[in-house]
Structure 1
Amino acid sequence: MANRIASLPEHLDVAIVGGGPVGAALALSLQGQGLIVGVFEARASLPSQDPRALALSWGSVQTLQGLDVWHPIPQATAIETVHVSQRQGFGHATLSHTELDVPALGYVVNYGDLAGALNAALAAAPIHFHTGVQLDMVKPLAGYVALRLNQGHVQKLVTASLLVVADGGKGLTELPGIERRHQDYGQHAVVCDVRTDQPQQHIAYERFSDDGPMALLPRGEGYALVWTCRSEAVEACLALSDTAFLTQLQARFGNRAGQFVSVGARAAFPLALRRLVSPISVRTVLIGNAAQVLHPVAGQGFNLGLRDAMALAKVVKESKRDELGSRNMLNRYAKRRALDATSTTAFTDGLIKLFAMPGSAASTARGSGLALLDMVPAARKRLTQHMVFGAGI
């Protein structure tokens, strides 16, 4: 029900700020519960043409299948194997979908295609879905949260039993009891599409070097590249000619995927770790990138956010209507998500720090660890399961 906010009821059971994939998935999962749900997106239109590559774990694909939004997504490319190595060091590890007996470890899709499928479903659902909405006031109180919404020249005051912030951390920055922690990695990610002279074999590559990790994700006939470089070097990297860029890429990555022959338009964005001490406040919970922003190494950010949404939906479904937004309900959610959020954040951050350690001794230790991981099926399976389904699921 994408319409004007003037038609909103005075009270909502659940108000979701942010109509991106995480917020949309949460709203869709709450259908059929007899709840009044509102979704409010600040953007006037949502990015159905965004070509950025997004790696979805098999666990996330199962979630999207359950929401009936997977099949409308075009051109999903399967990741069957992940190959992990380090530059100028021995040792590698290979993770395979056969470890878990699943069709694929994950799939690579366009962000815009995923957002478009989710928001088409959201617009057709019995949910109060509104775009172009700014929040002029958010006031959490003991019995409800008061929201003043602004859509163009129309204002509306509503209350909600539970406020969910899923806006990527861009909007609601001042909430009582929310303590944020920020760590700048001093790195940027350069992203683009590349082609090699060999067909991709549904293998994703993770290559670590002294200036940061490099990932190749199978996408269509080629790859989506995420090249991490130091922030002071990013402008020079973007300014390289295509030939010089491919030459440097080949030198850092090696020949395991073949010879790089073409590169698409390049873009860059800064990398940092942002997280909350606790994702809950008075009648409020933060999920997805509003709760944590991770380094893109291992591709865990969106998958972790989607698990936030599904865990919250389950807690809402298990709660009585008059319990929504209560401290007991929010504590149950926070407890349920603590292990997965903490361990996934620590795993991602730890990888960056581990492979940034200089010296031959550190390189030898990393190589030994990779070789050991590759030789021990139980350890390989445990790591693969964490990456695909999260921890404590």
Structure 2
Amino acid sequence: MKQYDVVIAGGAMTGASLALALDTLSKGNLRIAVVEAVSPEQTGHPGYDARSIAMSLGSVRLMEQLGLWSFLAGEATAISRIHVSDRGHPGLARMSASEYGISALGYVIELAQAGSVFLEQLSKRAAIDLFCPARIHTLHREQDVVSLQLTNGESLQASLLVAADGGVSGCCAQLGIGHQSLDFEQVAVIANISTALSHQGEAFERFTPFGPLALLPMSQGRSSLVWCISPEQQQEVMGWDDETFLAQLQSSFGWRMGKMVKTGQRFVYPLSLRQAERRVSHRFAVVGNAAQTLHPIAGQGFNLGLRDVVTLAEEVVAGYQAGEDPGSTAILSRFRQRREPDQAATVAMTTCLVKLFANEHWPLVAGRNAGLMAMSVMDTIKAPLMKRAMGQVDR
């Protein structure tokens, strides 16, 4: 049976980031295993598929501290401006990096490209073992260890098991840790879009009768589309040919980037808020989407998960260096206490935005447009939202 300090279930961006953070902060003194079901190079990997993520400035700073940003920077597209509007209404807000004296408000990372970067980094760390393809078949917790049997026949023991295995966590299910769910009654249509005019680093969030629509700047002049629609519209929208899809998107978005000229393959994902009922348990912690899966409206999901990751790594390494067991109750309690305020505030913000902007009742429409107009002229309103959007929050 192989012995580890920490075993991480899930090797996509959250799990890989945690492994690399633990290794970096401990200077290679912690023994770490990552158990991942699907090779990152495999087409259709659920953690490294066609989607992109908006990485906040705060997340970039965390990656820099861990020495990881230099490996991702070449794959990133800077967000220099953000344009928020409500179709058919006067509300409009603009934000730019120059307002805040910074080079970018955030960056867009393509998950498929990030997968190869993280896989390469994991392979270079002597203290990290990657078990892939493999899943945790059974797990058993004792007072001092967690014993794991993998689907590939390997047996592992660890002081701490961390679930970073996505919104429907197999580890949580095995341990009887349930989730609270809120169905947003929306699905997200994802595609990469080419337009006649360059995005020039501008990101757009537009609220339409279909639902929120975001276009994020990508490499080669493309934009990453996230278009939230009702489940009843899914079959119709996914059934459109490319020409019809682009025409409907043009009608909803407008002409700020000229003609919509090309779309890549479309994917669709159901949208809900899922929160683990417990973030920590005996020798067990939950991070990233396994802890909370958010609506993509404000691009906060990975950024919130990364703050989980770095905080857990800090507490585990600090405790280990002080002679504590990496899976001790004291370490996990400190992690939970540090993370609860940020998690609650970010979940509340994104959920309120969904409810506000997915509703076409006139009083809410008038209120949100007044808010957008106020944001455009009053920094006291815009600053707190921008601070959280840029990930500049306490951990």
TM-score, scaled to structure 1: 0.91
- Other-structure match for 2:22: 30
Answer yes or no: is 1:76 the counterpart of 2:68: no
Distance 1:81 1:192, change over 3 A: same
Q: 2:38 aligns with which of 34, 40, 43?
A: 43
1:111-130 aligned at under 5 Å gives the runs 111-126=111-126, 127-130=128-131
Deviation at 1:76, TM superposition (A): 1.9
**Conserved? CA contact 1:86–1:209, under 8 Å:** yes
User: Do the aligned residues in 2 keep the contact of 1:99 with 1:384 (CA within 8 Å)?
Assistant: no
2:180 match: 181
- TM-aligned CA deviation for residue 177 of structure 1: 6.3
Structure 1 gaps, min length 5: 1-7
1:54 Cα offset (Å): 2.0
Residue 102 to residue 325, structure 1, CA distance change in 2 (3 Å): same
CA distance in 2, matches of 1:275, 1:243: 38
SS at structure 2 position matched to 1:297? helix
Secondary structure of 1:243's aligned partner? helix
Match of 1:292 in 2: 292
Deviation at 1:351, TM superposition (A): 0.6
Match of 2:64 in 1: 65
**Which residue is 1:5 aligned to?**
none
- Checking the alignment, whether the CA contact within 8 Å between 1:214 and 1:227 is kept in structure 2 is yes
Q: Secondary structure at the match of 1:204?
A: strand
CA distance in 2, matches of 1:107, 1:178: 34
Contact 2:178–2:277 (CA under 8 A) maintained in structure 1 = yes
Of residues 355, 359, 364, the one that matches 1:362 is: 364
- 1:1-393 alignment to 2 at 5 Å? 9=2, 11-31=3-23, 32=27, 34-47=29-42, 50-73=49-72, 74-126=74-126, 127-151=128-152, 154-156=153-155, 158-168=156-166, 169-176=168-175, 178-220=177-219, 221-320=221-320, 321-393=323-395
Q: Say if 1:362 and 1:44 are closer, same or farther in 2 by CA, change over 3 A.
A: closer
Deviation at residue 170 of structure 1 after TM alignment: 3.9
Counterpart Cα distance in 2 of 1:284 and 1:63? 24
1:350 positional shift: 0.9
Contact between 1:12 and 1:161, CA under 8 Å: does it hold in 2? yes
For residue 233 of structure 1, what is the amino acid of its counterpart? Q
Structure 1, residues 223-273: CA drift from partner, whole Å, max 9, x if none?
111111111111111111222222211221122232322222212111111
In structure 2, C-alpha distance between the alignment counterparts of 1:136 and 1:359, rounded to whole Å? 49
Structure 2 regions of 5+ residues with no counterpart? none
Q: Kindly report the root-mean-square deviation, in angstroms, between the aligned alpha carbons of the 2 structures.
A: 2.0
* Change beyond 3 A, Cα 1:177–1:245: closer
Deviation at residue 171 of structure 1 after TM alignment: 2.3
Judged with a 3 Å threshold, the aligned counterparts in structure 2 of structure 1 residues 161 and 75 are, in CA distance, closer, same or farther, namely closer
| Deviation string, structure 1 residues 330-360 (Cα, Å, up to 9, x no partner) | 1110111111111111111111101122322
Letter of the aligned partner of 1:280 in structure 2?
Answer: V
| CA–CA separation in structure 2 for the residues paired with 1:33 and 1:22 | 19
Could you tell me which amino acid in structure 1 is paired with residue 295 of structure 2?
A: H
Residue 65 of structure 1 and its aligned partner are, at CA, apart by 3.1
The code of the aligned residue for 1:82 comes to I
- Contact 1:100/1:381 (8 A) holds in 2: no
Tell me the distance in 1 between the aligned counterparts of 2:79 and 2:359. Answer: 29
- 1:119-138 superposed Cα distances (whole Å, 9 cap, x missing partner): 11111102122212222211
Residue identity opposite 1:16 in structure 2:
I
Any runs of at least 4 consecutive aligned residues in structure 1 with deviations exceeding 6 A, and if so which? none
Give the TM-score of the pair, scaled to structure 2.
0.91
Deviations 1:27-49 (A, max 9, x none): 11112152111111122454488
AA aligned to 1:39 is V
- Alignment-derived partner of residue 3 in structure 1: none
Greater shift after overlay, 299-308 or 63-72? 63-72
DSSP 3-state at the match of 2:261: strand
SS of 1:34's equivalent?
coil
Task: Write out per-residue CA displacement over residues 269-288 of structure 1, whole angstroms, 9 at most, x where no aligned residue.
Answer: 11111112331111100101
Name the count of aligned residue pairs. 382
Displacement of 1:70 after TM fit? 3.0
Letter in 1 for 2:145: Y
Distance 1:19 1:210, change over 3 A: same
